[in-house]
């Protein structure tokens, strides 16, 4: 198993540290050559507009899109979810995304940085009780398509969704101190 973590901006280091703790060699993706040999991907939280621009200027956007649409498993958190959503509300007109997950998301819908919060969430199929959801300027999932499973909600809104090998969270599991979502993603998507 050799996951890649998009390392252009955002909370990528935290994801890499979690993977290192599992004795999994994570590749920090910065240029197209870094894609060689990876078999899954983590798109971290951060600022989706900035990430979108950096994906284009780094040359990663097109080859990463090909890999994702070819079935590469992905765990997309917060801004990463915005990058994979089919439709983004309140996004910039020049913002690019991968159009991978049949979901409509609204950027920063939970409010400003000052309105960030933590809340326990029940995750379907995840043993060990509630997961500590960390929401930082999080997007809201407004709707999902018929092939998207909602695995967790907060205030009746989806916060963890999955469609086959594509996982998306509106919260930051990498900042929670709880490793179970990463463990489950790796377990279910390892070759």
Active site residue 142: no
Active-site position among 15, 154, 172, 182: 172
Q: Which residues pair with 184 in a beta bridge?
A: none
Pairing status of strand 40-43 against strand 74-77: parallel
Q: Give the number of other CB atoms < 10 A from CB of residue 52.
A: 24
Active-site position among 14, 78, 154, 182: 78
Active site residue 15: no
Active-site position among 14, 15, 154, 174: 174
Active site residue 78: yes
Hey, which residues are catalytic here?
A: 78, 172, 174
């Amino acid at each position: 198993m050799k996951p890649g973590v998009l390392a252009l901006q955002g909370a990528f280091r935290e994801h890499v540290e979690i993977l290192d703790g599992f004795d999994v060699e994570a590749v920090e993706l910065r240029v197209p050559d870094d894609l060689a040999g990876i078999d899954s991907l983590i798109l971290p939280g951060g600022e989706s507009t900035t990430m979108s621009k950096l994906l284009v200027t780094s040359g990663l956007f097109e080859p990463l899109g090909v890999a994702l649409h070819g079935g590469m498993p992905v765990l997309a958190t917060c801004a990463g979810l915005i990058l994979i959503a089919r439709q983004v509300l309140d996004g910039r007109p020049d913002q690019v995304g991968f159009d991978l997950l049949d979901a409509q998301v609204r950027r920063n819908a939970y409010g400003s940085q000052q309105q960030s919060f933590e809340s326990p969430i029940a995750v379907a199929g995840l043993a060990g009780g509630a997961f500590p959801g960390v929401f930082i300027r999080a997007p809201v999932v407004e709707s999902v398509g018929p092939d998207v499973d909602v695995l967790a909600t907060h205030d009746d809104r989806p916060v963890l969704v999955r469609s086959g090998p594509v996982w998306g969270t509106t919260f930051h599991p990498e900042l929670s101190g709880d490793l179970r979502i990463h463990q489950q993603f790796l377990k279910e998507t390892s070759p």
